[in-house]
Amino acid sequence: MRKEPEDGDRGVDRVFELEEEVQQLKEAVVSHAVVDQAIGMMVAMGRITPDQGWAVLREVSQHTNIKLCHVAELILDWGRTGELPSQIRAELEDALDRHGPTQIPDTPPEPQ
């Protein structure tokens, strides 16, 4: 015969579910902050918009098959240490070239 869970058991299960959800939300907040900081670096380095910075990170992630949050962490580490894996660096340069300005703002175009 099947035993029905008691009210106390359901309460314990619900508390466990809520604790897991809180932990996932905490991780999401941290991940979001890391990605936002990396987007800021892309904006400053590449003289691009935040939307373009997001696209750069996404493309680097897709082309290297590395999770976006990890790519963002590597870029932040690069800002602190000056070291960036060569595969990430190459993809980052390509993505910035695709999204970045064709010339430095406020400079006259080159003569043709």
pLDDT digits (tens, 9 = 90+) for 5-31: 566 678 888 888 878 887 887 776 667
pLDDT digits (tens, 9 = 90+) for 52-77: 999 999 999 999 999 999 999 999 99
pLDDT of residue 101: 75
Count other C-beta atoms under 10 Å from residue 68's C-beta. Answer: 18
Q: What is the 3-state secondary structure (H, E, C) of the chain?
A: CCCCCCHHHHHHHHHHHHHHHHHHHHHHHHHHHHHHHHHHHHHHHHCCCHHHHHHHHHHHHHHHCCCHHHHHHHHHHHHHHCCCCHHHHHHHHHHHHHHCCCCCCCCCCCCC
User: And the tokens for 36?
Assistant: 């936002």
pLDDT digits (tens, 9 = 90+) for 24-50: 877 766 678 999 999 999 999 899 999
pTM: 0.69
Q: Is the pLDDT of residue 91 over 70?
A: yes
